[in-house]
Amino acid sequence: MKRFAGSLVVAGVLGVVAALVLWALPADEFVFEPGAAKPLAERVEVEDAKPARGSVYYVDVFVRRTTRLEELLPFLLPEGSTVVPERDLLPPGTTEEDRDRQTAADMQRSERVASAVALRAAGLDVEATPKGALVVSVAQDVPAAGKIEPGDVVVAVDGAPVRMPEELRQAVGSRRPGNTVELTVLREGKNVAVEVETVASPVDPDRAIIGIRVDQEADIELPLDVEIDLGKVGGPSAGLAFGLEILRMLGRDVTKGCRIAATGELALDGSVLPVGGLKQKTIGARRTGVDVLLVPAGENALEARRYADGLDIVPVESFQQALQRLATSERTC
């Protein structure tokens, strides 16, 4: 009897050890987990600040590899999680370190662009010299995948200079789907010639595209000093929140005393661009107890509303529209 009991103890210990090993071993997929909405008041500094009432929050997503144990027992994943294939986060030939560097660069650009957009909205002069079309993302199912990289700046098409995203769209759109174009991209300080085949637009089969999303690359000079520090948080999706907080720091009553959370990438023209992780961001904002969550209009807003559970979701297409929606809201806090 004692020998049998001892065997059970040994088996139990081995089971625990095996579970711990499986928990520690990373798997081949990634998991998106909800993060908490966090106030920007201690993260954003603006010269001559006179903060207005209320709070602006940013929302992020915790991203990590799944474990072998979670792969075997998916119910162990945290509530609100989404498992994402490795190829969706790490295109062929890239590493996690490459991704970290890119998201850090995206954050720096987001901070600069948000500052420019917010200070312009405050009526200040902001100098922005167009320098090309910055590649934000590349579709995985197009010939450009693996040739064009996020962070590249397209400065010419078939030798013709490109200073703004619209010039790139016009140049590519003048071709036929299946034609090849030569792009000159600025990569790590050097001009690189890349030939890519165009594909048909899913919206208009007669229009050629190359399957990349671009933003304005520009030299920006700000009239006021703005410092933003989110630590190790990367990516461009806090741009809308940054812009709102900068205006709040300058005395604009953008929140009406409420706790306003926001997610969305800001383009230099003030457009609010779609971002990822809306399920996790909405759950995180809801759990934090904010009053409102501003999100990009379209699919992002639809996703957010699926997980809102009573949280007020406000879809916006531009920074000016965000300000208008907040200004005309009947909510009081």
Q: What is the mean pLDDT of each run of 10 residues along the chain (333 residues)?
A: 46 42 57 92 92 94 86 84 82 75 84 94 92 87 88 94 91 93 93 94 88 88 93 89 97 94 92 92 96 96 96 97 93 76
Tally of domains within the chain: 2
Asked which of 166, 191, 219 is the last residue of a domain, the reply is 219
In a shared domain, residues 103 and 192: no
DSSP E strands, 51-179: 55-67, 82-85, 127-138, 153-157, 160-161
Asked which of 219, 240, 263 is the last residue of a domain, the reply is 219
Q: What is the CATH number of the domain that holds 54?
A: 3.30.230
Q: What is the pLDDT of residue 8?
A: 46
In a shared domain, residues 204 and 146: yes
Given the DSSP bridges, would you call strands 82-85 and 26-39 parallel, antiparallel or unpaired? antiparallel
Residue 28 domain flag? no
Facing residues of 64 across strands? Answer: 31
Of the candidates 118, 98, 102, which has an alpha carbon nearest to the alpha carbon of residue 239? 118
In a shared domain, residues 138 and 215: yes
In a shared domain, residues 77 and 141: no
Please count the residues of the chain. 333
Residue 6 domain flag? no
Residue 18 domain flag? no
Q: How many Å apart are CA 19 and CA 32, to the nearest integer?
A: 22
In a shared domain, residues 290 and 308: yes
Active-site residue, 50 included? no
CB atoms within 10 A of CB 311: 20
* Active-site position among 38, 256, 279, 281: 281
In a shared domain, residues 228 and 323: yes
Asked which of 219, 238, 263 is the last residue of a domain, the reply is 219
Q: What is the pLDDT of residue 27?
A: 57
Q: Which domain holds residue 70?
A: 34-125+224-327
Structural contact between residues 255 and 276, judged by C-beta atoms closer than 8 angstroms:
no
In a shared domain, residues 112 and 234: yes
Q: How many Å apart are CA 221 and CA 225, to the nearest integer?
A: 10
45 is written with which tokens? 């500094």
Active-site residue, 271 included? no
In a shared domain, residues 193 and 68: no
In a shared domain, residues 166 and 310: no
Query: What letter does residue 148 receive in the DSSP assignment?
Result: B
In a shared domain, residues 202 and 273: no
pTM for the predicted model, two decimal places = 0.81
In a shared domain, residues 316 and 290: yes
Residue 136 domain flag? yes
Given the DSSP bridges, would you call strands 259-262 and 55-67 parallel, antiparallel or unpaired? parallel
* Active-site position among 110, 237, 271, 318: 237
In a shared domain, residues 107 and 38: yes
Q: What is the CATH number of the domain that holds 153?
A: 2.30.42.10
Query: What letter does residue 289 receive in the DSSP assignment?
Result: T
